[in-house]
A and B are shown apart, each in its own frame.
Chain A
Amino acid sequence: MKKGNVAKNALIVMVVMWFFMLIMVPVFGIIQEVFKFGISNAVASLLTPHARHAFLLTVCITIAAVIINSVFGTLLAMVLVKQKFKGKLFIEGLLDLPFAVSPVVAGFMFIILFGPQGFIGNWFENQGIKIIYAVPGMIIATLFVTLPFVAREVMPVLREFGLEQEEAAYVLGASRWQTFLKVTIPSVKWGIIYGITLTVARAIGEFGAVIVVSGNIINRTQTVPLHIHQEFTDYNYGAAYSAALLLALVSFALLITLQTIYKKSEQS
């Protein structure tokens, strides 16, 4: 009994230390650096035009990714769960591709496809629309890396939800659209919200895919992670740490929300 307790406590200490070393120590490091830099300097560095532009751009791209992903992610989940068609398994397997492929590789794929030499990019260029080294390309890249989140969260909820409630709605006279809005969506809403939270977390922090397709142009195509990288390579450590801390705080707040949502969805 006593021996077991010792082993148990040792395990707990080990896990906690591991957690601290990997997560808490770096965060404290950043906080310390920011204080060294000075709070007023930090605020000033966050208010420079290119920092403000970076934050604004990140917000815009994130909003776009959330809107498009929640609509298409939900549709994708509905089709994959409810419809039977050839190649369904193939698509379901492919859905996790963005998890597996390096974001940098994904970025290069988009350059090939949407760049001026690319087939699609060329067509858009002729219409006067720039995709690569511009915001549309960055949104596409963000969409790619966040594609599975909403769909993957909604699919199990939808499977568990089953068909009976929808059939009950049909028999009570509800059309397919009414049933979708009043019965299906409310039933899978926690899945959608959970997926959106994950999408936001990934979208605000995405670096690899975005840096490749954006060209990293200050005040034009620089998101917060790219801005942090820029400041860091320019030896503006204080500014880099300040922006990094803010980004980390936003992510942290998001994770707290996620946990709350998770608890709430478990209750209902």
Chain B
Amino acid sequence: MGINVQNITKNFGSFCAVDNVSFDVAEGELVALLGPSGSGKSTILRIIAGLEVPDRGKVFITGREVTTLTAQQRKVGFVFQHYALFKHMTVEKNIAFGLEIQKRPKKEICKKVDELINLVKLHGYEKHYPAQLSGGQRQRVALARTLATEPAVLLLDEPFGSLDLKVRQNLAAWLKELHDNLNITSIFVTHDQSEAIEISDKIVVINRGKVEQVGNAHEIYEYPESRFVASFIGQVNVIDAFVRQDKIIIKDTSLAIDKQRTEAPDGSEIVLLVRPEDIMLKECPTSNSLECRINKIHYRGSFYEIDIALGAFSIKAIENKNSFMIDKWREHQNVAVEFKKYKIFDIIGGHGAVREQLRQLGYIE
């Protein structure tokens, strides 16, 4: 097994940073810990590395319990957000640091450093100091330094967080490739959902110190288990509604669509979660469409974003630039809208209390 985290809890004073978190990382897997800033994802990573001591819970690395071991004894690789390179040492010396601590023979160290310089494509920079390198180069040195001691697992704390978009994308793709070649069990922390979707085998979504959902990118995006996951990964429209027999009626309107699923019983309060790209604009009403109004059409480069009024709700639709007939639509024009796909969350309770309950549950702000 790669890494197992069992019931980890960590409080900082009265603030609960990590709340009973458990998840597994299979050997050779690349897992993303995804969550907003302050969600406790970095703390979890630091607990796995031994840089932070959990109040409760256990950590296993390659099947061995390491909860009571120090960071030195755990032999994990850790890459810091701000690189944490040794500023007074050259690139070479930085990479050799771990090996020198292990008192490996000089020849071996030289060979290994050469190999890693190759791997991270930093030829000619051996004698440079970190201050003389760009952000992307520094992070590559940090990776090489970490890989030098051949750790069993690799932990990356927002590894591309302080880099430009382009550099970040290149480095992320490169990391994915590197991981596929080395096949080293890895966890990386990120607040960037596209980064998580792009390079991870599995995503652990963290919110307020708790695991919200674990799954691959497809599962997380298509089958979110909570309002938080649905809204944090990609965009989503939230619409209050209730069930009447076989219809879903949008709150405060007479608009209704056919109920597809049987989970929500007659009379129950629900919320509909609809992704912008799952909203279809129709010229003529269909049997299952809703009467709406276009508020605004925004040009967004490769797509159009359309603000639509659905009763009292304002929802967003996204239309591909090539398939969207821009000439057909005008702002303030009536439009029939169909939901290609949506997700229902049940609400139990009185009619007016829907949003309040959602708020308390943390589903909406």
Q: List 29 A-B contacts (CB under 8 A).
A: A164-B84, A165-B84, A165-B85, A167-B71, A167-B84, A168-B78, A168-B80, A168-B84, A168-B85, A169-B97, A170-B72, A171-B50, A171-B77, A172-B97, A172-B98, A172-B145, A173-B72, A173-B75, A173-B101, A173-B102, A173-B149, A174-B101, A175-B72, A178-B101, A182-B97, A183-B86, A187-B86, A187-B87, A268-B131
What residues make up the interface of A, taking CB atoms closer than 8 Å to B?
164-165, 167-175, 178, 182-183, 186-187, 189, 268
Bound complex: CA A232 to CA B245 (Å): 111
What's the nearest-Cβ distance from chain A to residue B362, in Å?
32
Smallest beta-carbon distance A159→chain B, Å: 15
Q: Given A167-B51, A167-B71, check contact A173 B98 (CB 8 Å).
A: yes
Cα of A174 to Cα of B149 in the assembled complex, Å: 12
Q: Which partner residue on chain B sits nearest A189 by CB separation?
A: B88
Identify the closest chain B residue to A187 (Cβ). Answer: B88
Q: Mark B66-97, 1 if CB is under 8 A from A, else 0.
A: 00001110111110101011111000000001
Contact (Cβ within 8 A) B101 A164: no
Decide if B80 touches A167 in the complex (CB within 8 Å). Answer: yes
- CA of A187 to CA of B82 in the docked complex: distance in angstroms? 17
Q: How far is the CA of A170 from the CA of B74 in the complex (A)?
A: 10
Q: How far is the CB of B73 from chain A (nearest CB, A)?
A: 8
Cα A144 to Cα B317 in complex, Å, equals 73
The smallest beta-carbon distance between B14 and chain A, in angstroms, is 17
* CA of A173 to CA of B78, assembled, Å: 11
Cβ–Cβ contact A164 & B71, under 8 A: no
Enumerate chain A residues within 8 angstroms of B145, measured Cβ to Cβ: 168, 172
B49 within 8 A of A: yes
User: Smallest CB-CB separation from A176: which chain B residue?
Assistant: B72
Find chain B residues with CB under 8 A from A172 CB.
97-98, 101, 145-146, 149
**Cα A174 to Cα B100 with chains together (Å):** 9
Select which of B78, B86, B87, B102 is within 8 A of A171 by beta carbon. B78
A169 partner residues in chain B, CB cutoff 8 A: 86, 97
Cα–Cα, bound, A187→B101 (Å): 18
Across the interface, do B76 and A171 meet the contact criterion of CB distance under 8 Å?
yes
Establish whether residues B72 and A168, one from each chain, have CB atoms under 8 Å apart when the complex forms.
no
**Residue of chain B at shortest CB distance from A186:** B88
Beyond known contacts A170-B70, A172-B101, A173-B101: 15 more, CB 8 A cutoff: A164-B84, A167-B71, A167-B78, A167-B80, A168-B78, A168-B80, A168-B84, A170-B50, A171-B51, A171-B76, A171-B77, A172-B97, A172-B145, A189-B88, A268-B131
Of A172, A178, A183, A186, the most chain B CB neighbours within 10 A belong to A172
B102 CB → nearest A CB, Å: 6
User: In the complex the two chains form, what is the Cα distance from A186 to B87 in whole Å?
Assistant: 9
Mask: chain B, 121-148; 1 = CB below 8 Å from A; 0 = not: 0000000010100000000001001100
Contact, CB under 8 Å: A165 / B87: yes
Please give, as numbers and ranges, the residues of chain A lying within 8 Å of B102 by CB-CB distance. Answer: 173
Q: Report the separation of the CA atoms of residues A268 and B75 in the bound assembly, to the nearest whole angstrom.
A: 31
Given contacts A164-B80, A187-B87, contact A170 B97 (CB under 8 A): no
CB distance from B356 to the nearest CB of A (A): 42
Least distance between B159 CB and chain A CB atoms (Å): 13
Instruction: Tell me how far the C-beta of A99 lies from the nearest C-beta in chain B, rounded to whole angstroms.
Output: 30
A164-B80, A164-B82, A178-B101 given; A171·B71 CB < 8 A: yes
Q: Mark B45-56, 1 if CB is under 8 A from A, else 0.
A: 000011100000
With both chains docked as a complex, state the minimum distance between the C-beta of A38 and any C-beta of chain B, in angstroms.
Answer: 51
| Docked CA distance A147–B145 (Å) | 39
- Chain A hits for B86, CB < 8 A: 165, 168-169, 183, 187
Residues of A within 8 A of B70 (CB): 170
A171 — which chain B residues lie within 8 A by C-beta?
49-51, 71-72, 74, 76-78, 146
Q: Kindly state the separation between the CA atoms of A169 and B70 in the bound complex, as whole angstroms.
A: 12
Q: Kindly supply a per-residue 1/0 record for chain B positions 101-116, scoring 1 wherever the CB is within 8 Å of any chain A CB and 0 otherwise.
A: 1100000000000000
